[in-house]
Amino acid sequence: MAQGAGRAIWQAVSVLLLAVAVAAFLSVAAVRHGFFDLQVYYGALNFWVHGGGEIYDYLRPLTQYGFTYPPFAALVMLPMAYVPWAAAIAISVTATVVVTALVFWWLIDPIARRAGWTRWYALAVALCLAAAFEPMRETVNFGQVNMLLLFLVAVDLLRLLPAGNRWAGIGIGLATAIKLTPGIFIVYLLVTRRWRAAFTAMATAAGASLLAGALFPNASREFWTEALWNTGRVGELAFVSNQSLRGVVARLDPQHPSTVAWLVLVLGTLALWAWRSRAAVAAGDEATGLALTGAVMCLVSPVTWVHHLVWLLPALILLVDNAMAAPGGSRRRRLLLVAALVGYALLSSRIVWFWEKDFTGVDGFLGSNTYVWISLALLAFLPVRRAVAPGGSPVEAAGVAQLDQVDGGTPVGERHRIGRPFTVG
């Protein structure tokens, strides 16, 4: 009892100290954006509801930025027009924290159980580290919807689809109707031949869009015929915050970026993604499929601002998961932990901003695209896990499958006696 209480006290103190350290880091490193994007949503909705204008005609004063999401997103955000600004901020931050905690729980809980960590402690540490992660802090500071979309997709891919639930696909469909880029997860379902979930996602996205069209015909007409194609509303492609393949090409020649070069890169990246995603699903590894598709979405989207890179979080967590599943002290464990640490550190460092004003030269090419290189590395090298352990991490069963080969079929219940780090369930 005393030992357990001492451990709990030590963990609580260490989480508190970590939180203080993260707060100190944020006070120095975090850029205050004043909920800029949330102000755009809030202003556009109020202009539309109370000002008598069309939502896509609104531009935030003294900027070129307006509401760029489909009409269904406007329907989802509509209550924002009826609450004070402070309440809108509170709702945005609270929703982001809650859905982040849920997604992290689904991904981290198996690691904690296998490693023997206290589960609340593992989650608390992960959330503290997430607060320091640049894409996450940018998401919160801008008032963005990235984690809400990741949550909707994760509900499908981490909960409903592995359970064979017939409603799998609804979350992806809703995410696509809110913002078009998650539509690549519909392609993921098609590429991996989960036809029912793919059609459910397509039907959901279409139904939500038609509902918004019926309720707001003028806004829908303007979005699909004009606003969607007005690329000037989203910002400069060569801006260093655009960490996509399109951004890489644009920074090579900001005045005349090569569309052909970009398309060639996109096609090659999609081919790699399709091959690796099919391998992941064939192995029963839906979490890695989610991570790979999140990475490729960031790469092939014409515009991937830094805050969009929260979609890389599942891949970084899975690097740790795979590392902890490897034998203690093994080269594989060290390599995967170092990869996760380096990726996390760079993505928390604001390193690309050193080249914000001048991204010319070899150093500019390499440094200003650092987050793109990380996305590509995760897409190419994130391990695919070989099987799913009932009620546990897919990595566990992968380890057991390897042990079956090494140990000549040693019974699972005996493996703890020969020093193996893997367990089942």
**pLDDT score at 317:** 97
**pLDDT score at 311:** 98
**pLDDT score at 160:** 97
**pLDDT score at 227:** 82
- Provide, rounded to the nearest whole percent, the portion of the chain with pLDDT above 90: 80
Q: For residue range 94-128, list pLDDT tens digits in order.
A: 999 999 999 999 999 988 988 888 999 999 999 99
Nearest to 352 by CA among 302, 293, 292, 309: 309
Which residue(s) pair with 418 in the sheet?
A: none
pLDDT at residue 412 greater than cutoff 60: no
Q: Cβ of 217: how many Cβ atoms within 10 Å? A: 11
Mean pLDDT of 341-351: 97
Write down the residue that tokens 């515009």 correspond to.
Answer: 303
279-283, 308-312, 378-382, 404-408 — which is least confidently predicted?
404-408
The rounded distance, in Å, linking the Cα atoms of 348 and 258 is 30
What angle separates helix 394-406 from helix 85-115, to the nearest 10 degrees?
20
pLDDT band at 4 (very low <50, low <70, confident <90, very high): confident
Altogether, the residues listed in the chain come to a count of: 425
Nearest to 375 by CA among 248, 258, 275: 248
**pLDDT score at 1:** 53
The rounded distance, in Å, linking the Cα atoms of 191 and 319 is 24
Mean pLDDT of 185-214: 98
Reported pTM:
0.89
Q: For residue range 371-404, list pLDDT tens digits in order.
A: 999 999 999 999 998 754 444 454 444 443 333 3
pLDDT at residue 222 greater than cutoff 80: yes
**pLDDT score at 236:** 85
For residue 258, give the amino acid letter. S
**pLDDT score at 8:** 87
The rounded distance, in Å, linking the Cα atoms of 151 and 174 is 11
Q: For residue range 9-53, list pLDDT tens digits in order.
A: 999 999 999 999 999 999 888 888 899 999 999 999 999 999 989
Contact 276, 379 (CB under 8 A): yes
**pLDDT score at 244:** 98
What are φ and ψ of residue 300, in 5° steps? Answer: -90, -15
Interacting residues of 188 by C-beta distance below 8 A, sequence separation 6+: 277, 289, 293
**pLDDT score at 62:** 82
Burial class (CB in 10 A: 0-12, 13-18, 19+), 110: buried
Interacting residues of 374 by C-beta distance below 8 A, sequence separation 6+: 312, 343, 346, 347
Return the ∠ at Cα 146 (arms to 241 and 123), rounded to 5°. Answer: 110
**pLDDT score at 358:** 94
Tell me which long-range contacts 399-408 makes (C-beta under 8 A, separation of at least 24).
399/325, 399/326, 400/424
* Dihedral angle, C-alpha 260, 262, 267, 271, nearest 10 °: 150
**pLDDT score at 380:** 98
